[in-house]
Amino acid sequence: MKKDKKNQKQYTTESKNKQKKYDSIPENKNSVFEKEFDKFVDKGTESLLAVIYIDGNNMGEKVKNVTQGKSDYTSGINALRNFSKQTNKDFVENPIKAITEKLTELYNNAKDEKEQKKYLFRKIISGGDEITIVCNAHAVPYILEIYFEKLSESGNNSACAGVAVFHSHDPFADVYEIAEACCEMGKKQAHLEENKGKNYIDFHYCHAGITNSLEIIRDTQEKEYTARPYEYSGSWKEFIKYGKLLAENGKRSDVKALGEAVVNGESYYKEELRRIESRDSKNNLTELFENEDNIKKMIFDISIVYDLWFA
């Protein structure tokens, strides 16, 4: 942006087109749909948002199957058009409708305006098998559950989701790249022959700005401690189950201490577990202790997003 000789603001064509597109978005007729990111959060107390990037699996193979045997142009084009319409319905329209309905229900039942903000979201990009959503970071588990449950109803479809949790002032382009990279982490697993048809979820919490690629962060900081990515119908549901178990029967300080102990080493982890177990007089956390070796990395991941998704 610059000023002309009359000291009036001038805008580039790109900026004008962006503003035009923004202005074309209809006014909020649904309580959980919000255009402005700053309104998603309670500024001054918490300003955490999330980008959720979802992309369908093995779509190239599906396109090939759809066009197989179509010997003329017309039948090939019609097959592709029908496939595209159905794909958009399965991966975008139906899930977004279900997400909107569920978040609206939670929004309407919220105790106050602060809690209502936790269920706000905005669909940024969508088309075919791809969708990008920005939401209050607290809403992520609800959105992912509804999305994949709805997708499972559509037949032989699967997808991977990448989630980047970030502060509202972080550069959106950098955050979006992290979400895409998380999705790619899931796709590396989904592309394995034994995982064909499975849905994967990966996430990253952008704590203090974004200075490296996700691949570098994982290799240098988290590789030995994290269980990500998660397969939706299996390990993801285990992740959610143990997160809720700790939230209902443990203390925040215990969860954070366990996460730190995982990083510090096996002896620290075991010692922390025994300390917590000694105070579990009602045996509410027995399942956790019985599986402590298998879920160590999962506990590290839970500690990262505990305040947002479980507390």
Q: Tens digit of pLDDT for each residue in 267-277?
A: 999 999 999 99
Under DSSP, is residue 300 helix (H, G, I), strand (E, B) or coil? helix
Q: Give me the half-sphere count of Cα atoms (radius 13 Å) on the Cβ side of residue 182.
A: 28
Q: By residue range, what is the domain housing residue 142?
A: 29-219
Whether residues 241 and 210 share a domain: the answer is no
**Alpha-carbon distances, residue 223 vs 121, 215, 228 (angstroms):** 31, 10, 9
CB-based contacts of 1: which residues, under 8 Å, 6+ apart? 9, 10, 11, 12, 15
In a domain, 213, yes or no: yes
Looking at the domain assignment, is residue 297 inside a domain? yes
Domain boundary among 174, 196, 219: 219
Question: Are residues 121 and 207 both part of a single domain?
Answer: yes
* Whether residue 264 sits in one domain with residue 279: yes
Last residue of a domain, one of 219, 245, 266: 219
Residues 213 and 254 in one domain: no
Whole-number pLDDT of residue 24: 57
**Lowest mean pLDDT across 9-23, 86-100, 109-123:** 9-23
Q: What is the pLDDT of residue 29?
A: 52
Q: Based on the domain organization, do 214 and 305 belong to the same domain?
A: no
Q: Let me know if residue 211 belongs to a domain.
A: yes
pTM for this prediction: 0.88
> Quick one: tokens of 283?
């045996």
| Contact of 52 with 133, CB cutoff 8 Å | yes
Cβ atoms of 97 and 17 closer than 8 Å: no
Count of structural domains, the chain: 2
Q: Is residue 23 part of a domain?
A: no
Interatomic CA distance for residues 175 and 173, integer angstroms: 5
In a domain, 46, yes or no: yes
Q: In this structure, is residue 19 part of a structural domain?
A: no
Tens digits of per-residue pLDDT, 112-161?
988 999 999 999 988 889 999 999 999 999 999 999 999 999 888 999 99
Residues 254 and 299 in one domain: yes
21 located within any domain:
no
Please check the confidence at residue 18 and state whether its pLDDT lies above 70.
no
Question: Do residues 154 and 94 touch, judged by C-beta distance below 8 A?
Answer: yes
The model's pLDDT over 198-256, given as tens digits with 9 standing for 90+, comes to 999 999 999 876 778 899 999 999 989 999 999 999 999 999 999 999 999 999 999 99
Q: Give me the residue label for tokens 């969508």.
A: 126
Residue 148's pLDDT is 98
Query: Which CATH number do you get for residue 150?
Result: 3.30.70.270
**Bridge partners of residue 121, in order along the sequence:** 33, 135
Instruction: Give yes or no for residue 26 having a pLDDT over 60.
Output: no
